[in-house]
Amino acid sequence: MSRRPLPTEEEARRILAQRRTKPPMRPPPRASHKLQKFIKSLDDQFGRSANSLEGRWTEIVGERLARVTRPVKIIKARGNSPGILELRVVTSGALYVQHQQQEIIEQVNLFLGAEAVGKIRIQQGPIKPLATASQPRPRSRSLPALPPLPPAEEAELEASVAHLPEPLRKALTKLGKVAYARSRDEADDPYR
């Protein structure tokens, strides 16, 4: 079997001019393009909603606005235009929220993504308190034990309320003991 001789330089140029070489492979598509539909469906189902905002509402708008506002819902607009954020606002805070609308929109868009919200609709009414772990616990109703009164002061207090009916006498006696104890504490305080 005889081998075919290699083409000359001129023949090689003519062959290459007639035939196209195989194009280089394209780079693989970006994952973001492939996952965009999937992410959009998840976003519609779970994401950009008032529920996702409510858990971090204090972080998003700040303590002052969080005390008077709650996100109700996000109304999605057609196409790619920004949506409308519906806020429930305490009646006394509505004017303040109206003046802070642009800042609220900016902060919400930082959290949800660019142009997620373009307008705010204010709904006046009562709001529920935010459920956070950092809320202070209610103070205990028990009072610290009072130091005993000197016998002379206690006798004077008992005599001043002796003519009153029983429930009122007990309440005023208790109040008088607290008042005496406080006045004594204030007298002992050199910085008062």
CATH code: domain of residue 72: 3.30.300
φ/ψ of 26, rounded to 5, equals: -75, 150
**Is residue 133 assigned to a domain?**
no
Structure tokens at 5: 């001789």
**Is residue 81 assigned to a domain?**
yes
Task: Give the pTM.
Answer: 0.46
Q: Which of 87, 106, 124 is the last residue of a domain?
A: 124
Question: Which DSSP string do the residues of 32-60 spell out, in sequence order?
Answer: HHHHHHHHHHHHHHTSSSHHHHHTTHHHH
DSSP, collapsed to helix, strand or coil, labels residue 185 as helix
Q: How many domains does the chain have?
A: 2
Given a cut of 70, whether residue 143 has pLDDT beyond it is no
Q: Which of 109, 124, 139 is the last residue of a domain?
A: 124
- The residues pairing with 107 across neighbouring beta strands, listed in sequence order, are none
Structure tokens at 164: 């009153």
Q: Do 58 and 101 share a domain, yes or no?
A: yes
**Is residue 25 assigned to a domain?**
no
Given a cut of 60, whether residue 138 has pLDDT beyond it is no
Q: Do 114 and 180 share a domain, yes or no?
A: no
Q: How confident is the model at residue 16 (pLDDT cuts 50, 70, 90)?
A: confident
DSSP character for 157?
H
Query: Hey, how many other C-beta atoms are within 10 angstroms of the C-beta on 120?
Result: 20
**Is residue 35 assigned to a domain?**
no
Instruction: Look at the block and give the residue holding tokens 């935010």.
Output: 130
Write the pLDDT tens digit of every residue in 32-68: 777 778 777 776 665 556 667 888 888 889 888 998 9
DSSP character for 25?
P
Q: Do 114 and 163 share a domain, yes or no?
A: no
pLDDT (0 to 100) of residue 121: 93
pLDDT (0 to 100) of residue 154: 86
pLDDT more than 70, % of the chain: 82
Given a cut of 60, whether residue 153 has pLDDT beyond it is yes
- Domain of 52 in residue numbering reads as 47-124
Q: Do 107 and 173 share a domain, yes or no?
A: no
Given a cut of 50, whether residue 192 has pLDDT beyond it is no
**Is residue 136 assigned to a domain?**
no
Given a cut of 80, whether residue 171 has pLDDT beyond it is yes
Q: How confident is the model at residue 103 (pLDDT cuts 50, 70, 90)?
A: very high
Mean pLDDT over residues 65-74, rounded? 89
With a CB cutoff of 8 Å and minimum separation 6, the contacts of 164 are 172
Q: For the chain, percent helix, then strand, then coil, each to nearest 5?
A: 50, 10, 40
Cα 124–chain centre separation: 19
Given a cut of 90, whether residue 131 has pLDDT beyond it is no
pLDDT (0 to 100) of residue 134: 53
> Residues 122, 89: contact at Cβ < 8 Å?
yes
Instruction: Look at the block and give the residue holding tokens 């205990």.
Output: 140
**Is residue 14 assigned to a domain?**
no
Q: Do 105 and 67 share a domain, yes or no?
A: yes
φ/ψ of 153, rounded to 5, equals: -70, -35
> Residues 77, 83: contact at Cβ < 8 Å?
yes
